[in-house]
Each structure stands twice: as structure tokens, then as C-alpha cells.
Structure 1
Amino acid sequence: MNMDLSRRSFLKLTGAGVAATSMGALGFSEAEAAEIAHVRPFKLATTTETRQTCPYCSVACGIIIYSKGDVRKGDNAEVMHIEGDVDHPTNRGTLCPKGAALKDFVKSPTRLLYPMHRKPGSDKFERMSWDEALDRIARLMKDDRDANFLAKNEKGLDVNRWTTTGMLAASATSNETAWATFKFAKSIGIVGFDNQARV
């Protein structure tokens, strides 16, 4: 049998074949339809979703943490998955390689989970409570400020400077938190103030 096909007919027939094959590949075949009847539950359906900020750099990308349990309550929640937050105006769901590897950062066995202190003359760090750590920091700051605060300069002008202590702030914060941190540092006289964004 001799088929007489024009170029136009051949292209139409080829296009129809490609369309039919593509529909089957996209899941519209009978075998795929039978498989869809038994739908597996989404693996993150039973997890708690927590929005957070990536801790790495000063860009402050938004992330979503999926966990078994609530990470905000600190109940030893197990992090199952971390991804970029598509609703976040900074990164719109994208993450750099470090941000994409945050799950490994969270689950790292060397991750610091509580304050550590190495006493003078000791060769090892010892665990301490948050209350002890904050009390120690406050006491050391108060002692240093009392000893080194400069209220007036050599000309007798009020300067209110504390030059022996500096502050390095985090940059993965909101504008309001950054403003409050800067105001706190300046209100107690700290002159040396820098931000992680420049480091």
C-alpha cells in the first residue's frame, strides 16, 4: 500500500504522535491513572512548619523548617526538611549552597547547643546554664564599664565613652531588632560597634 503524504500531513501526524506520547509521559495513561487511585500521603504532611531566618550571612534569607514536634518550644523536635521560604521578600524561596545544607548544620554532632566556659588555666570547656552565662557576661561588662568609663574628655566636655569593650551585632535580624541593639550599645557608651554584615 502506497501512502501519499504531503509535508503538511506528515507534520500533523508527527505532532499528534508527540502529543500523545507526552500525555502518557505526564501521567495520563491508564497505568498511571490506576496508580493515582492509591495516593501516598505527602511526607511533610504530619510535620510542624516553622518560618525562620537563615543564620549564615547578612542577607537574612527566609527559610521554612519542617519538624516532628515544635522547634519553637524546644521539645527536642527532629528537623525533617529545610527549604527556602517562597513568601520571603529577600530570597523568594531560593537558597545559596550553605543555606541549602542547613539540615546538616542543624544535625551536626559538633553543633554548640548551650553555653560553654573555659576557666582561666583550664585546658577544656565546661558546660554552664544560660542563667550563669548571662549573669557572668553582665557582671564582667559592669565591672569593666565601672573601671574604664570616660564621662568627660580632657577639655571637660561630656563624652560618655566606654572604649575598652566593643560589640559585634548579628545582621540576620529585623530592622527593629537592629535599631534596638544599636540604641542599647550607644546608651551604655560603647564606641566600638560593628555588624556581621561587614565581616
Structure 2
Amino acid sequence: MSRFSFLGWPVVRQFGSGDPLGRGEAVTSPKTRVISPRTSTADRVVQSVCPYCAVGCGQRVFVKDEKVVQIEGDPDSPISRGRLCPKGSASEQLVNAPGRQTKVLYRAPHAKDWQQLDLESAIEMVADRFLEARRNNWQQNDEHGRPLRRTMGIAGLGGATLDNEENYLIKKLFTAAGAIQLENQARI
């Protein structure tokens, strides 16, 4: 263990080094002097948009060896001007989390275990069920003969991890299919 010395105190280093405001060398620890930021070792920087809400804050995604190493606010963004909320600041974890699912999983009714499906089979399964629910629950007219042209068998819940354009297209799809029960998590 090293001996205690008053000369190691930051305030003493401030005045002894000519840094009386403590904004430079006097307050830099030996550990800080030898480390470098993850952003300095990145192979490339990609501009992106935060996926969490509909605000559309700009992000700078730092990539090294085709892996995201850091995400920061984009100072060139007219929306966020380089700032991110706590969720946006932590969005690197969305990409690199060890528990992130990268395969389609399906659990059949009354089954205990999940099974992997290929993406094409899963999309076909969802499309078939969507069309069947629409067909089985279609309401052309009400009891007085007035046109309804809707289905109560389909509902949509949008999420804030999609941007405005994606939510707009999903709303158009569901409306064109006759669904009237549409909501978005950002509004709830």
C-alpha cells in the first residue's frame, strides 16, 4: 500500500501545476491519461435516427469490425442538436444485448416449448391468420343496411420504437384492411 501524501490531493495538484481552476492536467488521473474513447478506434461513423420514439433524434453510430461500439447524439441534427434522452443514450444495448433474440420463435397453442421458424414461414403464418381473421369477422352493413365495411377481428397496437413513416404505413395497411381498432403506445 502506498504512503499517504498531501501532495496527491487534487487541490494541491491544482495550485502546484499552474491549473488553479482544476480543468486540465491537475484533475486528470493516471488511469484517465492512458485510456482512449471507444469512438476514436471506430472504423466508421454512420448517421442514424433513434429508434425509441417518434421525435426522431439524430444519432452517430460508431462501428468497429462491423459491430456497434458506441452511439452518441448527432450534433448536426436540427431536432436534437447532439442530445439524447436516457433511452436514446442506451440504444447501443438494443443492438449488443446478449439476450437479444435474433431468430423467429413460435410456441404452438398448448405447447410447452418454443420452436424456431424461418422468417418466410413466420410471415406466411401471420399473413394467413390476418386474412382469415378479416374474412371471418367482416361486417359489410349494419342491421339497418348502412355500409360499415370493417372488421372487428383485427386490431393494431403501434409502438414507439418505430418512426413516424413506419407507423404511418402500418396505419394505412390496417385501415385498408378494414380494421378500426388502432392505437399507438406513444399516445396511451
TM-score of the two chains, using structure 2 as the length reference? 0.72
Partner of 1:168: 157
Write the distance in 1 (CA, Å) between the matches of 2:115 and 2:89.
32
Partner of 1:62: 58
- Pair 174,107 (structure 1): closer, same or farther in 2 beyond 3 Å: closer
Partner of 1:154: 143
Of 69, 91, 101, the residue aligned with 1:112 is 101
Count of aligned pairs between the two proteins:
161
How far did 1:149 drift?
Answer: 0.8
Structure 1 position 79 matched with structure 2 position 75? no
CA contact (8 A) 1:60 1:172 kept: no
CA contact (8 A) 1:60 1:173 kept: no
Write the distance in 2 (CA, Å) between the matches of 1:128 and 1:91.
39
Counterparts of 1:25-36 in structure 2, within 5 Å, are none
Write the distance in 2 (CA, Å) between the matches of 1:169 and 1:97.
22
- Pair 178,105 (structure 1): closer, same or farther in 2 beyond 3 Å: closer
CA contact (8 A) 1:67 1:78 kept: yes
How far did 1:146 drift?
Answer: 0.9
Partner of 1:102: 91
How far did 1:191 drift?
Answer: 0.7
Gaps of 5+ in 2: 1-14, 26-35
Deviations 1:101-131 (A, max 9, x none): 2223322111122221111222222221211
Pick the structure with more helix per residue. Answer: 1
Helix, strand or coil for the counterpart of 1:197? coil
Partner of 2:29: none
Helix, strand or coil for the counterpart of 1:185? helix
Write the distance in 1 (CA, Å) between the matches of 2:91 and 2:164.
24
How far did 1:173 drift?
Answer: 4.6
Write the distance in 1 (CA, Å) between the matches of 2:78 and 2:117.
38
CA contact (8 A) 2:156 2:174 kept: yes
How far did 1:192 drift?
Answer: 0.6
How far did 1:181 drift?
Answer: 2.3
Write the distance in 2 (CA, Å) between the matches of 1:173 and 1:55.
6
Partner of 1:53: 49
- Pair 126,140 (structure 1): closer, same or farther in 2 beyond 3 Å: same
How far did 1:43 drift?
Answer: 4.9
CA contact (8 A) 1:60 1:171 kept: no
- Pair 96,110 (structure 1): closer, same or farther in 2 beyond 3 Å: same
Write the distance in 1 (CA, Å) between the matches of 2:159 and 2:44.
27
Query: Identity of aligned pairs, percent?
Result: 28
CA contact (8 A) 2:39 2:70 kept: no
Of 119, 125, 129, the residue aligned with 2:118 is 129
Gaps of 5+ in 1: 1-17, 28-39, 70-76
- Pair 175,107 (structure 1): closer, same or farther in 2 beyond 3 Å: closer
TM-score of the two chains, using structure 1 as the length reference? 0.68
Structure 1 position 197 matched with structure 2 position 169? no
